Structure formats: structure tokens, C-alpha cells
């Protein structure tokens, strides 16, 4: 089970004073640092070091497919990427997809949470129906949604063809293709939002509602003053995590539309993949990736700043 | 935890019926995938789409056996090994991330360093990077260190992916605990070890379970790194699954659906078992009172 | 390393290990690890190797194939090569990748070895020149250039690969409806020409008739088809028009070449231009013709997703009368488990453009894959790998491969009397192979291909016209190729 391994671990803190290196290391002053070390060490080796490596690469003109000795060229890659119209187009597409998908996830996730906030017989089982989508692989979600949309074989198309006289070709237009991707992604991840919101809803002490009932507070007022404060921070966490993850959306797009029609659904993650792995512009793709990272960091910080400020105001 | 949360009102079977219908509509794509696992290729692509058909188990057999080209005899596909790999790698790395992450979270919560928030943010940042960028350095590193194709390589990598999430979530649980109780315990002569294991951990067990399930869900289906960094012996199911996506025919819908269905079972089971902890855990950690 | 022990212990403890078969371990002198896509032609190679191969040099040789799923094959190979992992001794590769990986220093130049080894020289002489041009040469040399030299191997040409699975596209069609008397009569009456039923009829089928077939068989639900009432719409024709990989370029190139247009010709670099060639009037006209047939195809064609597998599925599910698709995708069509038309299918050459003299030009873009050797192996390993090449390209092996769903590139094998009857599409394949040319081999091919597929996709989905698409392609290629010095 999840938590058992923790108990096997010997505590790094001992009350006895020892001499030498061991004593120095186990000094209570350093306890915090000591506890953080394993996490930082693994992160350093597996994440931070490769990140720095590709950061270095981004200043060269290295191509993984070429034997030429890489030449240092300063900020040229960054300049190239930032002045490339294609890149801006990809960013816009990504913004549209991330924006609409996260909003849809919030709405659907919230509604589902309301549905499951009440206790009812067999809730545990019914809830599993809704939780399952996020346990599927991106690949299988992409493949089957593509099949659902397929004009001849697809279930969705079949049903819609019965209603309308025009054959249903969802992925034939840029708007339809974006909708197709957003629906698949939102379907998969709304349960995640639901889980967080639900956790908030369930935690509201019942006596607060009873008090509200006695005060004859309106439903909206009850929601705003009692329910919302409990789910707010979780909702914010959901937005944060889903935005970060959706920004990286790759497999679903690549499988459902491959960026088409034309380049209308090509997200920055797909473009990055092409530059790095199909075009072998290793250095340039590193530069682009760092720009993406920078944007995500700025967005996250703005977001956290806004949240904290609001929290300060409320307090 | 002994305290039981009370839900907003209680509802009866009528509510169950309504919720089941909505739940089933939401579940329908998954249901369709599971149905497809029992269909022949012709049935899977039949127009109009078939809800009623003669089920076949051929797809499930094909998950584990394939016919030889030359002799027609059946050969094992190694899918059993891949299922083992997926389970072993995911559970180990998520567990490891939880242990390491809990220690770090405890430190961040109880022994704040200067610039604590910055460290926490840097840890989160590693999750924001599009994974494609670090692939070439990691690939190179794995080759140099001999980790390529080994279990430990991919396990450490997944551990690293799960640490940010674990640290952030678990820290929020520790933050919610009342430090006065811990101090009181220390006054009574409890060792640090006892404070940690005796007081803190038991109180956040539900939160740890929730973190574990989240980590598992995020790791279970990882594809790109598994494709590039696992060898023939350590390949995971999502990579092996890709063989159904094209070759001599396009997507082998039945076979893909069969693998997806089988692969869903372990994680579905774990989530079902820990469902209550999942809800309580998340709540407990992050709701400000 | 502790890993194997750990693994064994854990595996012993789990029931999942029960289904495993341990790989047999020989005390092998030489192990050749080969990266191969996971599909029947490579599976056959491995199985047949294990059954028949003995090293002429007395080695104990193991062919260790790393079967990688097709859709991820390129990524896996590219990552392995560029990281310097040096894991593979042989690699199955798309011909387009030659430039990128030769320039990277990963694929072994075999020119000298071919020259020095009479057996290899003989093999190269027996291989169809279109295949040698496409699968083996870098910098790319056209078939005409190779034949001009008069000798094989041609002087000044660098050779790399050998055919693993040579592929061409042919017509798959429904005999039951194309040879239905009522339909034939109706077609004759409407268009004043015959509905192609026999192989010979298809030899005389040009694009004009292809369009007529599309129009003729466009049927609504409730209409009659070959004497039966349809419950779903039916379509006459389909060919590739997909955004992925090269799933429209391969067909569009055929139209362009047949119409007298051209793609940027790397064999004439640096003089050959992109601007004015790629978007020449002939090319635009050809592309327009290609686009004009999409209206008769199943509605998925409007989404730019009609790839080689989608059209195959539509055909196998009986939704379309005739498709143009790779021979390599033929086998499932005959499989009763996968195909509803397994007993109703026949195969003919792909349609072409009728020339003034009445003959039909079928120039097409070659498919399939060669395999190559890598650069980091000892002479002993290279020699043994070449022994494997000789074994694979031995007529006996090749005939066996064809019997098991493969194709051969050897002219002597293709000429053998039994060849045409081994698989139903073989006659069409042999006829088509003579018409094959290839797309670019330069390292930048993927960038060019992706941009081109994107513009083609816009035209296919009706966002822009043929001229606009080809202008954009030409402009992009001109700039890119000038940048890298391929155009001066």
C-alpha cells in the first residue's frame, strides 16, 4: 500500500549527539536540508541537469543529425524563434486549445462534482464510471475519439448523420478540428477537476448549511458564502495543474489531427516535437522550449500572485 | 482517521438512478472501447455501429500470442512481461517519489529555509518543461551511465517526474497539522523520529494515499520516455500498445481495445480501493479553514 | 549490475512471468542487432533466418531483431542514432531518411565493398535499377543517371542500402461490382467506354476514367449497387489524401510527374530550382486534377485524414469500389477476419495519364524500405552482416519471402514464371515497379515534407487552391535550399 514504505525508512533525525562527520551531518540545524537532499538529488540528476544541458545547447547551432562541430552563436536561436511567424501562430493555437479545454474541464468537472457531492447508494461505484477516463492512455483516447468522429465508421457521425442530411465531417474545418481535440482532452481530464472540487464540497461541515437554512439564506448566497470558500483553493489548484499539463498536450493532437487541417491545430508541443525530432534542429528546439518554459513560468507566477493578493484582501 | 465526513444531505435510490445515467453517458466512450475488445475487425468498423454482436475472445488471445508468419504456430508476444514491467515500474517509482517527496515536504513545512518558496517553485518548474527538450540529454546520459534499458533508469526518471507533485501535495498536508501537538510531544520527550512517524504520518495517511493514486494515474500511461529509454526486456505496455496503431493494417481497434481494457484493470482496482482516501486526502490538505 | 537479479527474483514471484518464453542463448560469435518495424515482412525475415541461415564463414550468428511498433519506428531509430548509442548493426529505414543518417555518420557506405565483392556486384546488377536508385544511392542518383553509366555499380555513386520490402501502389478493386453485367452496361452507356473488369482493362485505365468510375459509383443509401439495395452510401474511388507523414505527397507526386511537372530534383543540385519548377503550370494543373477526384471519395477525404490505412479500411469494409494503395497493405484485404471483401477483390496497375500517342504514363513514387549497415562495427561484423545481405537477397530466400507476403527487388526473381501467381497483386507490382521514382533524400527532407504536407492538406480541405499551395511550397523550398547551399 501507498504509505507503508515510508515507515521502513529510518528517520534521518537522531536525538543523540555524535562526533565527526556523522554528528555534523545530523546536527538539528541541518535536518531540513538533509531531508530535502534525496528529492533534490534525484531531481537534479534526472531533470535539472538535462535542463541545463539543453539550455547550453540552445546557444549553439547543434543539429543532432550532423557531424559538424557545433558553433556558439549566442542568442541567434532565440531571435530566430521569436521572429518566426509560424511560432506565433502555434502559440495562438495553443492558447485557444488550452483556454477552451481548461474552461470546459472546469465547467464539466464542477457539474460532476455537484452531482456526486450528495451521498447516495452505490456512489462509490457510480463515481468510478466518471473517474475512468483519466486512467486511459492519451494514445487510446486519441485513437478512439478519432474513430468516433470518422465520417463513415464513427458512432458520433452515425448518430449525427441520422439527424442532419449533410454528412458530418467534424475534422474538416479548423474550428471543428479544434473542437474535436478540446472535447477529447476535456473528457479525459474533467474527472481530475471533479475530484478536487468534490473533495472541497465534501469537506464543508454540515452545520454551516444547517445554520444557513435557519437564516433562510438564498441558495446562491449559501453557495457563495459557505461552499465556495471551501472549494476555492482546490479549484485554483485544478486550474494551475490543468493549464500546465494542457500546455504540453501532444499525443491527442498528433493522433486526432496531426495538426491539420493545414496547421490549424498544430500546438506548440507538436511543433516542438517536429523541430527537435523530425527536423533535428536540436539547438533551435531547445531555445523554443525555453521560451515555452519562460511563458509558463510567467503565467504561473502571475496566477499565483493574483491568487495570493486576493487571499490577502479577503483576510 | 476516525472522524467521518458528513455529506451534504443524503439521497435515495432515485438519485442513484439519475447519477448512474449521467455517469454512464460519461463512461460511454470507455464502454465502447471495452465492447470493441470483444469485436472482430469487421464488427468494430461495422456501419451502423454494432451494440449487439457475437463476442469473440480472439483479441485477448492476440494480446499474448501471435501466429508465426512461416509456420502459423502460435508464439508468445512477451505482453505478460510488459504488464509486469508497467506495474513494477509505476508502483516502484510512484512509491519512491512518495517517500522522498514526503521527507522533503516535511522539511519544507517544518524547517523552512530561506527562500523556501523559490525552491518549491523550482521544483514545480521541472514539471512545466515540455518533455521533448530533455529527451536528448537524458538519452545521452542514460547511455553513458549504462542506465538505458535498465529498470532503475526508467524508475528513477519517473520518480523525478513525480517528485514535484508529491512535494507540493504532501507539504500542504503537513501545513494543515497543528504543530502545537508535535511540540507537546517533544516536551514529553518524544524523539523526532517518533514525532514524525507517531504523530505526523498517521494523520496524513489519507493524503498520502491520494498522492499515490494521483502519481499512479500520471505515470501509468507515460509513453515517450518509455519508448526511448526502455529496452526489449523493460518495455512497458503503452509502448507495446503502439504496435496496434499501424503496420500492415491501420489501427487494430480490437487488439488495442483489448490491451487498453486489460491495462485498465490494475489502476482501476487501486483507485477503487483508495477512493475514500482519495477524496479525504485531497480535502484535508488543501482546504483553508 | 544488480538489475538482472532483482528482476529475476521479482519475476519469479509473479504469475505474470508464467507466459514468458526465455530467449534461447547461443554461445554466439556474432550478434547482429537489427532495428526493424514490427510487421510481417520483417517478422518473416527473422523467422526464416533462424530456420535457414548458416554463416559461410563458420560463425555462429544471431540475428537479434528489435521489433519496434511502426508508428514509433522513426523516433526510436532517430533517438538511438543521434545519441550515439551504437546499438544496431543493421537498420530497416525509409529511403527518405538516407541523407539525414548518412550525413550524421551512421549509415555505412558500401560502395567499395560492393565493388570488391563479385557476389555483391552481381546482386546489385540483378536489383531493379529503380530500387537501386531509390534505396541505395546518396547523394541521390536517378535511375536514368545510373543507367547512363552503363555499368553497375556506377562510378562516382555511393551505395548504402538493399531492399527489405520494395513497395509500389496498385489498384485494389471489387471484381463483383466492376464485372457486374448490369453495371458494365450502364457504365458503357453513360460514358461510351468500358468499366474496367480484367487486369488488361486496368492497364488501359487513365485518370479520366478513374474520375468517371468515381462519379458512376457514387451512390446514396437506398440506391442499387450490382443488383442489391444499399443501406449505406457507397463510393467509387479513393486514394491517399492524408496529412500525416507522406500520405498525400506520394500520390500527388505521381500526378505531377505524369503531367510533365517535377519536384525539386536533388540529383541536379545545385542548378535545379524549386521556384518555377515546383509551382510550374504543369504541376498546378496536375495537382488540380488530383484535387478534382476528392469529391467522389468517402467524406473522410474532406478532413485530410484519408491516409493509406483509412482507405484500406474503407475498402475492406465494402464502402468503396476501388482504391490505390501499397502492395504492402494487400495481405489483410484477403484475410476473412479483417476484410468483408476478401473473396471479391482483384488487383491491377494504378491508373496513369494518357499521352498523345495513346500510351499511359504511370510514373509513381516508390514506397517500401531498404535496410542498411551502420558505421561502428568491426570488419568481422560488417562481413558477416554482408553475408546476411547475400542470404536475404538469394533467390531462394526471396521466393520464400514473396510466398509469405513479401516482395522481391531482384529482376531474376520477378521474371521467374511462378512469381506473378504467388500473390494476386504481383503482376501489377512488377508492372508498376518499372515506373518508380523517389522523393528527395537530403537531410532536410522531413522539413520539406512536413511543410508540403501542410500546404497540400490546406488544399485538400478546401482552404486554399492548388496554385496557392504549390506557390507556398515552392517559396519555402527555394529559401530553405538556398540557405543550405543546395540551390545556388
Give per-residue pLDDT as tens, A199-227. Answer: 888 777 778 888 888 888 888 888 888 88
In a domain, A4, yes or no: no
A149, closest residue in chain C (CA to CA): C300
Q: How confident is the model at residue C19 (pLDDT cuts 50, 70, 90)?
A: very low
In a domain, A58, yes or no: no
Q: Which chains touch B (3 or more CB pairs under 8 A)?
A: A, C
Residue C177 has pLDDT above 70, yes or no: yes
Q: How confident is the model at residue A314 (pLDDT cuts 50, 70, 90)?
A: low
SS (H, E, C) chain A: CCCHHHHHCCCCCCCCCCCHHHHHHHCHHHHHHHHHHHHHHHHHHHHHHHHHHHHHHCCECCCCCCCCCCCECCCHHHHHHHCCHHHHHHHHHHHHHHHHHHHHHHHHHHHHHHHHHCECCCHHHHHHHHHHHHHCCHHHHHHHHHHHHCCCCCHHHHHHHHHCCCCCCHHHCHHHHHHHHHHHHHHHHHHHHHHHHHHHHHHCCHHHHHHHHHHCCCHHHHHHHHHHHHHHHHHHHHHHHHHHHHHCCCHHHHHHCCCCCCCCCCCHHHHHHHHHHHCCCHHHHHHHHHHHHHHHHHHHHHHHHHHHHHHHHHC
For residue A161, give how far its alpha carbon lies from the nearest alpha carbon of chain B (Å). 11
- CB spacing of B248 vs C39 below 8 angstroms: yes
pLDDT of residue C316: 96
Residue A73 has pLDDT above 60, yes or no: yes
In angstroms, rounded to a whole number, what is the distance separating the alpha carbons of residues A264 and A251?
16
The model's pLDDT over B99-146, given as tens digits with 9 standing for 90+, comes to: 999 999 988 888 777 777 777 777 877 777 777 777 778 877 887 787
- CB spacing of B69 vs C332 below 8 angstroms: no
pLDDT of residue A15: 45
- Whether A156 and A21 map to the same domain: the answer is no
- Whether A30 and A82 map to the same domain: the answer is no
Q: How confident is the model at residue A143 (pLDDT cuts 50, 70, 90)?
A: very high
Judged by a CB distance cut-off of 8 A, whether residue A291 touches chain B is no
Which residues of chain C have a CB within 8 Å of the CB of B244? 69
pLDDT of residue C120: 95
Contacts of B200 (CB under 8 A, 6+ apart): B106, B174, B177, B182
For residue C40, give how far its alpha carbon lies from the nearest alpha carbon of chain B (Å). 7
Return mean pLDDT, chain C.
91
Which residues of chain C have a CB within 8 Å of the CB of B64? 19
The model's pLDDT over C290-329, given as tens digits with 9 standing for 90+, comes to: 999 999 999 999 999 999 999 999 999 999 999 999 999 9
- Whether A125 and A43 map to the same domain: the answer is no
In a domain, A57, yes or no: no
B58, closest residue in chain C (CA to CA): C337
pLDDT of residue C216: 97
Look at the block and give the residue holding cell 510488459. B82
- Whether A27 and A122 map to the same domain: the answer is no
Q: How confident is the model at residue A18 (pLDDT cuts 50, 70, 90)?
A: low
The model's pLDDT over B141-197, given as tens digits with 9 standing for 90+, comes to: 887 787 878 899 999 999 999 998 888 888 888 887 877 888 888 888 888 888 888
Residue A290 has pLDDT above 80, yes or no: yes
- Whether A36 and A101 map to the same domain: the answer is no
- CB spacing of B271 vs A131 below 8 angstroms: yes
Judged by a CB distance cut-off of 8 A, whether residue A151 touches chain C is yes
In a domain, A104, yes or no: yes
- Whether A44 and A112 map to the same domain: the answer is no
pLDDT of residue B118: 77
Judged by a CB distance cut-off of 8 A, whether residue C314 touches chain A is yes
Residue B2 has pLDDT above 80, yes or no: no
For residues A3-8, average pLDDT: 35
In a domain, A1, yes or no: no
How many C-beta atoms lie closer than 10 Å to residue C464's C-beta? 18
Residue C17 has pLDDT above 70, yes or no: no
Q: Can you give the pTM of this predicted structure?
A: 0.89
Judged by a CB distance cut-off of 8 A, whether residue A278 touches chain C is yes
Between C143 and C19, residue with greater pLDDT? C143
For residue A183, give how far its alpha carbon lies from the nearest alpha carbon of chain B (Å). 12
- Whether A234 and A280 map to the same domain: the answer is yes
Q: How confident is the model at residue C262 (pLDDT cuts 50, 70, 90)?
A: very high
Among A43-47, B262-266, C117-121, which is the least confidently predicted range? A43-47
For residue A22, give how far its alpha carbon lies from the nearest alpha carbon of chain C (Å). 28
In angstroms, rounded to a whole number, what is the distance separating the alpha carbons of residues C419 and A208?
84
The model's pLDDT over C356-410, given as tens digits with 9 standing for 90+, comes to: 999 999 999 999 999 999 999 999 999 999 999 999 999 999 999 999 888 999 9
- CB spacing of A51 vs B126 below 8 angstroms: yes
Return mean pLDDT, chain A.
84
The model's pLDDT over A229-239, given as tens digits with 9 standing for 90+, comes to: 777 777 887 88
Which residue in the set A152, A262, A279 is minimally distant from C300, CB to CB?
A152
For residues A289-302, average pLDDT: 87
pLDDT of residue A19: 63
- Whether A284 and A168 map to the same domain: the answer is yes
pLDDT of residue B75: 86
- CB spacing of C104 vs A66 below 8 angstroms: yes
In a domain, A71, yes or no: no
Q: Which domains does chain C have, with CATH numbers?
A: 29-167+368-437 (3.40.190.10), 169-239+293-365 (3.40.190.10)
The model's pLDDT over C438-474, given as tens digits with 9 standing for 90+, comes to: 999 999 999 999 999 999 999 999 999 999 999 999 9
Among A64-78, B27-41, C208-222, C457-471, which is the least confidently predicted range? A64-78
For residues C101-127, average pLDDT: 95
In angstroms, rounded to a whole number, what is the distance separating the alpha carbons of residues C264 and C272?
7
Residue A286 has pLDDT above 60, yes or no: yes
C341, closest residue in chain B (CA to CA): B42
In angstroms, rounded to a whole number, what is the distance separating the alpha carbons of residues C16 and A167?
47
Judged by a CB distance cut-off of 8 A, whether residue A171 touches chain C is yes
In a domain, A97, yes or no: yes
pLDDT of residue C13: 40
Which residues of chain A have a CB within 8 Å of the CB of B48? 158
- Whether A80 and A22 map to the same domain: the answer is no
The model's pLDDT over C147-172, given as tens digits with 9 standing for 90+, comes to: 998 888 899 999 999 999 999 999 99
Domain count within chain A: 2
Best mutation target, C101, C316, C450, to test chain A (most A CBs within 10 A)? C450
pLDDT of residue C198: 96
- Whether A43 and A94 map to the same domain: the answer is no
Q: How confident is the model at residue B284 (pLDDT cuts 50, 70, 90)?
A: low
Residue C11 has pLDDT above 80, yes or no: no
Residue B3 has pLDDT above 60, yes or no: no
Residue A2 has pLDDT above 90, yes or no: no
For residues C238-267, average pLDDT: 95
pLDDT of residue B6: 43
Judged by a CB distance cut-off of 8 A, whether residue A169 touches chain C is yes
Among B78-82, C9-13, C388-392, which is the least confidently predicted range? C9-13
Cβ–Cβ pairs < 8 A, chains A and B: 328
Q: Which domain holds residue A38?
A: 14-48
- CB spacing of B84 vs C14 below 8 angstroms: yes
Q: Which of A122-126, A306-310, B200-204 tops mean pLDDT?
A: A122-126
Best mutation target, A50, A65, A70, A266, to test chain C (most C CBs within 10 A)? A65
Q: Which domains does chain B have, with CATH numbers?
A: 13-76 (no CATH), 79-286 (1.10.3720.10)
The CATH number that applies at residue A299 is: 1.10.3720.10
Which residues of chain B have a CB within 8 Å of the CB of A153? 45, 47, 49
pLDDT of residue A22: 66
Among A33-37, A265-269, A294-298, C5-9, which is the least confidently predicted range? C5-9
SS (H, E, C) chain B: CCCCCCCCCECCHHHHHHHHHHHHHHHHHHHHHHHHHCCCHHHHCCCCCCCCCCCCCHHHHHHHEEECCCCCCEEECCHHHHHHHHHHHHHHHHHHHHHHHHHHHHHHHHCCCCCHHHHHHHHHHCCCCCCHHHHHHHHHHHHHHCCCCCHHHHHHHHHHHHHHHHHHHHHHHHHHCCHHHHHHHHHCCCCHHHHHHHHHHHHCHHHHHHHHHHHHHHHHCCCHHHHHHCCCCCCCHHHHHHHHHCCCCCCCHHHHHHHHHHHHHHHHHHHHHCHHHHHHHHHHHHCCC
For residues A39-65, average pLDDT: 86
- Whether A183 and A41 map to the same domain: the answer is no
The model's pLDDT over B246-276, given as tens digits with 9 standing for 90+, comes to: 888 889 999 999 999 999 999 999 999 988 8
- Whether A253 and A310 map to the same domain: the answer is yes
Q: For chain A, what percent of residues have pLDDT higher than 70? A: 90
Amino acid at each position: 500500500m501507498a504509505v507503508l514504505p515510508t515507515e521502513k525508512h529510518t528517520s534521518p533525525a537522531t536525538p543523540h549527539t555524535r562526533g565527526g562527520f556523522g554528528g555534523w551531518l545530523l546536527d538539528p540545524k541541518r535536518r531540513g536540508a538533509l531531508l530535502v537532499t534525496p528529492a533534490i538529488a534525484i531531481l537534479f540528476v534526472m531533470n535539472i541537469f538535462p535542463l541545463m544541458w539543453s539550455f547550453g545547447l540552445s546557444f549553439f547551432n547543434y543539429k543532432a543529425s550532423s557531424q559538424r562541430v557545433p558553433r556558439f552563436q549566442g542568442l541567434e536561436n532565440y531571435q530566430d524563434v521569436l521572429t518566426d511567424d509560424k511560432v506565433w501562430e502555434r502559440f495562438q493555437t495553443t492558447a485557444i486549445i488550452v483556454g477552451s479545454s481548461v474552461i470546459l474541464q472546469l465547467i464539466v468537472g464542477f457539474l460532476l462534482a455537484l452531482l456526486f457531492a450528495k451521498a447516495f447508494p452505490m456512489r462509490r461505484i457510480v463515481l468510478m464510471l466518471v473517474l475512468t477516463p483519466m486512467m486511459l492512455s492519451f494514445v487510446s483516447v486519441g485513437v478512439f475519439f478519432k474513430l468516433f468522429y470518422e465520417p463513415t465508421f464513427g458512432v458520433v457521425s452515425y448518430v449525427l448523420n441520422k439527424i442532419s442530411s449533410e454528412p458530418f465531417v467534424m475534422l474538416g474545418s479548423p474550428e471543428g478540428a479544434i473542437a474535436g481535440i478540446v472535447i477529447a482532452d476535456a473528457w479525459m481530464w474533467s474527472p481530475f477537476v471533479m475530484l478536487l472540487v468534490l473533495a472541497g464540497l465534501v469537506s464543508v461541515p454540515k452545520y454551516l448549511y444547517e445554520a444557513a437554512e435557519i437564516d433562510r439564506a438564498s441558495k446562491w448566497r449559501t453557495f457563495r458564502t459557505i461552499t465556495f470558500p471551501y472549494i476555492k483553493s482546490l479549484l485554483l489548484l485544478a486550474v494551475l495543474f490543468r493549464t500546465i499539463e494542457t500546455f504540453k498536450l501532444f499525443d491527442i493532437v498528433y493522433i486526432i489531427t496531426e495538426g491539420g487541417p493545414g496547421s490549424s491545430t498544430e500546438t506548440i508541443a507538436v511543433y516542438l516535437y517536429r523541430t527537435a525530432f523530425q527536423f533535428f534542429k536540436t539547438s533551435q528546439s531547445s531555445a523554443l522550449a525555453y521560451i515555452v518554459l519562460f511563458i509558463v513560468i510567467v503565467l504561473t507566477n502571475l496566477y499565483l500572485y493574483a491568487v495570493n493578493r486576493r487571499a490577502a484582501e479577503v483576510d | 482517521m476516525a472522524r467521518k465526513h458528513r455529506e451534504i444531505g443524503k439521497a435515495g435510490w432515485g438519485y442513484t438512478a439519475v447519477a448512474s445515467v449521467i455517469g454512464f453517458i460519461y463512461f460511454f466512450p470507455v464502454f465502447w472501447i471495452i465492447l470493441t475488445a470483444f469485436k472482430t475487425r469487421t464488427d468494430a468498423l461495422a456501419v451502423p455501429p454494432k451494440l449487439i454482436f457475437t463476442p469473440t475472445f480472439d483479441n485477448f488471445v492476440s494480446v499474448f500470442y501471435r501466429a508465426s508468419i512461416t509456420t502459423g504456430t502460435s508464439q508468445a508476444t512477451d505482453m505478460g512481461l510488459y504488464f509486469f514491467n508497467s506495474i513494477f515500474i509505476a508502483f516502484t517509482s510512484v512509491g519512491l517519489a512518495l517517500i522522498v517527496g514526503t521527507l522533503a515536504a516535511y522539511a519544507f513545512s517544518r524547517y523552512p529555509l530561506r527562500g523556501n518558496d523559490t525552491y518549491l517553485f523550482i521544483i514545480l518548474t521541472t514539471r512545466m518543461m515540455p518533455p521533448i527538450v530533455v529527451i536528448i540529454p537524458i538519452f545521452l546520459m542514460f547511455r553513458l551511465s549504462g542506465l538505458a534499458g535498465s529498470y532503475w533508469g526508467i524508475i528513477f526518471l519517473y520518480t523525478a517526474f513525480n517528485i514535484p507533485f508529491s512535494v507540493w501535495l504532501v507539504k500542504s498536508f503537513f501545513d494543515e497539522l497543528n504543530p502545537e501537538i508535535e511540540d507537546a510531544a517533544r516536551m514529553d520527550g518524544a524523539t523526532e523520529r517518533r514525532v514524525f512517524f507517531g504523530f505526523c504520518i498517521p494523520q496524513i495517511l489519507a493524503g498520502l494515499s491520494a498522492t499515490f493514486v494521483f502519481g499512479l494515474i500520471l505515470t501509468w500511461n507515460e509513453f515517450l520516455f518509455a519508448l526511448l529509454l526502455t529496452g526489449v526486456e523493460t518495455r512497458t505496455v503503452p509502448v507495446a500498445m503502439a504496435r496496434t496503431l499501424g503496420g500492415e493494417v491501420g489501427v487494430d481497434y480490437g487488439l488495442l481495445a483489448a490491451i487498453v481494457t486489460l491495462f485498465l484493470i490494475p489502476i482501476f482496482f487501486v483507485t477503487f480501493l483508495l477512493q475514500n482516501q482519495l477524496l479525504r486526502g485531497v480535502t484535508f490538505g488543501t482546504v483553508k479553514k | 549490475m544488480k538489475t538482472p537479479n532483482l528482476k529475476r527474483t521479482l519475476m519469479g514471484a509473479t504469475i505474470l512471468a508464467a507466459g514468458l518464453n526465455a530467449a534461447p542463448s547461443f554461445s554466439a560469435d556474432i550478434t547482429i542487432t537489427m532495428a526493424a518495424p514490427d510487421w510481417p515482412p520483417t517478422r518473416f525475415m527473422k523467422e526464416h533466418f533462424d530456420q535457414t541461415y548458416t554463416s559461410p564463414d563458420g560463425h555462429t550468428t544471431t540475428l537479434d531483431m528489435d521489433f519496434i511498433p511502426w508508428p514509433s519506428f522513426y523516433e526510436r531509430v532517430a533517438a538511438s542514432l543521434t545519441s550515439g548509442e551504437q546499438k544496431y548493426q543493421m537498420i530497416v529505414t525509409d529511403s527518405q531518411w538516407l541523407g539525414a543518417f548518412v550525413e550524421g555518420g551512421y549509415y555505412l557506405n558500401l560502395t567499395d565493398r560492393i565493388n570488391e565483392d563479385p557476389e555483391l556486384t552481381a546482386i546489385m546488377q540483378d536489383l531493379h535499377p529503380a530500387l537501386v536508385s531509390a534505396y541505395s544511392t546518396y547523394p541521390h542518383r536517378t535511375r536514368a543517371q545510373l543507367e547512363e553509366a552503363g555499368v553497375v555499380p556506377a562510378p562516382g555513386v555511393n551505395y548504402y542500402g538493399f531492399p527489405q520490402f520494395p513497395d509500389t501502389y496498385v489498384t485494389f478493386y471489387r471484381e463483383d461490382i466492376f464485372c457486374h453485367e448490369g453495371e458494365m452496361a450502364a457504365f458503357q452507356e453513360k460514358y461510351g467506354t468500358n468499366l474496367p473488369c480484367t487486369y488488361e482493362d486496368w492497364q488501359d485505365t487513365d485518370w479520366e476514367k478513374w474520375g468517371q468510375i468515381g462519379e458512376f459509383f457514387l451512390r446514396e443509401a437506398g440506391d442499387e449497387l450490382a443488383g442489391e439495395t444499399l443501406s449505406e452510401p457507397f463510393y467509387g474511388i479513393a486514394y491517399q489524401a492524408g496529412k500525416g507523414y507522406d500520405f498525400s505527397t506520394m500520390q500527388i507526386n505521381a500526378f505531377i510527374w505524369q503531367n510533365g511537372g517535377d519536384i525539386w530534383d536533388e540529383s541536379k543540385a545545385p542548378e535545379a530550382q524549386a521556384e518555377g519548377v515546383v509551382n510550374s503550370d504543369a504541376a498546378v494543373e496536375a495537382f488540380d486534377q488530383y484535387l478534382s477526384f476528392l469529391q467522389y471519395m468517402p467524406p473522410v477525404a474532406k478532413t485530410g485524414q484519408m491516409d493509406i490505412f483509412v482507405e484500406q479500411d474503407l475498402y475492406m469494409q465494402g464502402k468503396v469500389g476501388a482504391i490505390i494503395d501499397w502492395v504492402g497493405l494487400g495481405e489483410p484485404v484477403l484475410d476473412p477476419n479483417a476484410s468483408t471483401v476478401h473473396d471479391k477483390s482483384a488487383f491491377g496497375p494504378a491508373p496513369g495519364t494518357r499521352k498523345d500517342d495513346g500510351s499511359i504514363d504511370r510514373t509513381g513514387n516508390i514506397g517500401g524500405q531498404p535496410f542498411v549497415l551502420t558505421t561502428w562495427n568491426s570488419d568481422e561484423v560488417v562481413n558477416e552482416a554482408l553475408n546476411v545481405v547475400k542470404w536475404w537477397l538469394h533467390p531462394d530466400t526471396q521466393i520464400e519471402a514473396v510466398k509469405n507476403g513479401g516482395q522481391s527487388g531482384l529482376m531474376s526473381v520477378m521474371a521467374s514464371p511462378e512469381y506473378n501467381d504467388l500473390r494476386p497483386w504481383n503482376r501489377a507490382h512488377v508492372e508498376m515497379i518499372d515506373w518508380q521514382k523517389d522523393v528527395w533524400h537530403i537531410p532536410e527532407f522531413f522539413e520539406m515534407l512536413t511543410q508540403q504536407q501542410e500546404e497540400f492538406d490546406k488544399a485538400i480541405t478546401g482552404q486554399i487552391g492548388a496554385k496557392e499551395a504549390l506557390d507556398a511550397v515552392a517559396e519555402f523550398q527555394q529559401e530553405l535550399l538556398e540557405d543550405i547551399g543546395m540551390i545556388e
